[in-house]
Structure 1
Amino acid sequence: MNANVIIYCRVSSDEQTLGASLDVQEERLRKYCNQMGYNIIDNISYREDESAKTFEKRPVIQGIMNYIRKNKGRVNKL
């Protein structure tokens, strides 16, 4: 399946950046998408390093959700 996907990388604390930095997450996600034949929309990854327990308090994920709403049917996976 050639799914259109958005890559979203997130860490919420300084400790998390040590083993699962945003760069490491993005590298792994891109590799996985390549292996699965997924198309990364506009070849962009979204990164967030906010400490928030809910989606409402995360600005990047809110932007992604708005994009998905405005582009119905274009995004198959997040």
Structure 2
Amino acid sequence: MSNNLIDISDAAQRLGVTIATLRRWDASGKLKSVRTFGNHRRYRLDEIETLVNQVEAVAPVQLNAFIYCRVSTKKQQESGNLQRQQERLIQYCKENHYNIVTIYEEVASGLNDNRRELTKMFRNLNDVE
């Protein structure tokens, strides 16, 4: 068995999951980390490769995503903040293989509970998996 260790970000990238997922797996015992003297998580490369091979053997699942973009003011929208936010979220979805179902965008204060597009998005959650 190889004792080559990799850091948490490398392990997450190889497995195609988030760092938070690896932390949950560590807490639940699904994948145990080795702790450094600085208390950083390291993972055995052979265990990661075994998991990668198991994941590749299973048919990939297409994940669906809604995108919600919001800026607080019309001025922020006019200066391109809403468009840049949307472009970044679309890029994230592409990089992480999410199928974008719908993009919701609006100009509304984050302190305002009456955000129509956010409410519409929540109502539509049951329509997709």
TM-score, scaled relative to structure 1:
0.71
Please name the residue that 1:3 is paired with. 63
Please name the residue that 2:115 is paired with. 58
Residue by residue, what CA displacement relative to the aligned partner does 1:13-65 show, whole Å, maximum 9, x if unpaired? Answer: 356444x7111011101111000000001xx31101112415x4111111111
Considering Cα pairs closer than 8 Å and 6+ residues apart, tell me whether 1 or 2 has the greater RCO. 1
TM-score, scaled relative to structure 2:
0.46
* Runs of 4+ more than 6 Å apart: none
More helix by share: 2
Please name the residue that 1:32 is paired with. 92
C-alpha RMSD of matched pairs (Å): 2.1
Q: Which has the larger radius of gyration?
A: 2
Aligned length: 68
SS state of the match for residue 105, structure 2? strand
Tell me which amino acid in the other structure corresponds to 2:123: N
Given that 2:72 and 2:109 are in contact with CA atoms closer than 8 Å, whether structure 1 keeps it comes out as yes
Match for residue 48 of structure 1 among 103, 106, 121:
106
